[in-house]
Amino acid sequence: MPTPHRVVIAVFPDVDLLDVTGPAEVFALANRETAGRAGYRVRLAGPTVGAVRTSAGVRLLTDVAFEDVGGQVDTLLVPGAVDMTDDGPRARIDDAVVSWVRETAPHARRVASVCVGAHLLAAAGLLDGRTATTHWSTADQLAADHPGVTVDPDPIFVRTDRGRLWTGAGISACLDLSLALVAEDLGEEAALAVARQLVVYLKRQGGQSQFSVPLSRPPAGRRDIDELCLWIADHLDEELSAPALAARMCLSERHFARVFKQETGTTPGAYVEAARVEAARRALEATDDPLDLVASASGLGSAETLHRAFRRQLATTPAAYRRSFRTRTV
């Protein structure tokens, strides 16, 4: 008989829909891919039994009221809800949910937040003295509201408290976190089988960034700079010095450097290096290519240059990064 995994997902008014249904689908597929051996039993818990309207307008039906969940929870998943204000999105703090999480968490084998659900864990006192992540748009709010929490807005998920406490980034990262939970329970092969059914890559490990280089900055006001950034991503092994890029833009080097930094917030050289490091990261995750080949293909030239760039950008070495994030295949 499989070890039962009783998964309880919190559902409350205006909860983010994907943060509930994404993990539920991952666990359901794990059951299917293991012919039921996974033993996941997912239940939605809410303030009452019945319909709950989500942020998408879709209604979900809860299986059990908060007060009736009881003990023996294997995995407690806490998604979040967002209110839009003049200052941008704000994570909603529902006192009733916070109180229930505070009471239920000690009885769960592990607790995980999805997206802005980290704010609810923090309000319940579960994140004090720990490192946590959340959706990038509310990371500043989490840090301001909870000074005792070390907020890292970059990773896709953070695992702490000896694996008992997880916090995940936003939106589609709920799939990454859920796949990591499956991998912890059942092994990488089971998680890979689920990822294949979802048609997603089992690549993005927790320490990886929520963003690619183009997505990590707001769009430039000038369309020609946006187009240049896309061109750079497709030509990383070519000459991408500031003079070469200025010539491509038909601008003087000085004027080009000023415009590029004004539009992107960084220098051309720093942008190109970050894009090349990102390409090298993907190669290290997905291939067994030697470091000199990775360096050449990503435009960094040599293994020595690759090493220096990784130290600057990621504070690690290419070899250490590969050991941490190499994707196993079957």
DSSP string, 263-278: HHSS-HHHHHHHHHHH
Mean pLDDT for 98-127 is 96
**What confidence tens digit (pLDDT) does each residue in 20-53 have?**
999 999 999 999 999 888 889 999 999 999 999 9
Most confident of 34-38, 119-123, 149-153: 119-123
CATH 3.60.15.10 for domain 214-325, yes or no, is no
Name every residue whose Cβ is closer than 8 Å to that of residue 140 and which is 6 or more positions away in sequence.
none
Name every residue whose Cβ is closer than 8 Å to that of residue 325 and which is 6 or more positions away in sequence.
203, 205, 207, 208, 281, 284, 285
pLDDT at 330: 28
Strands 88-91, 51-53: pairing is: unpaired
Classify domain 5-198 at the CATH superfamily level: Class I glutamine amidotransferase (GATase) domain (3.40.50.880)
pLDDT at 206: 46
pLDDT category of residue 208 using cuts at 50, 70 and 90? low
**Residue boundaries of the structural domains of the chain:** 5-198, 214-325
pLDDT at 189: 83
SS3 call for 209: strand
pLDDT at 190: 86
Examine the pLDDT at 210 and tell me if it is beyond 50.
no
Q: Which long-range contacts (CB under 8 A, 24 or more apart) does 25-29 make?
A: 25/198, 26/175, 26/178, 26/179, 26/181, 26/182, 26/194, 26/198, 27/178, 27/182, 29/194, 29/197, 29/198
Examine the pLDDT at 233 and tell me if it is beyond 90.
no
Q: Give this prediction's pTM.
A: 0.67
Write down the catalytic residue from 115, 174, 229, 250. Answer: 115
Residue 229 among the catalytic residues: no
DSSP string computed for 138-195: GHHHHHHH-TTSEE-SSBSEEEETTTTEEEE-STTHHHHHHHHHHHHHH-HHHHHHHH
Q: Bigger pLDDT: 166 or 313? A: 166
pLDDT at 203: 46
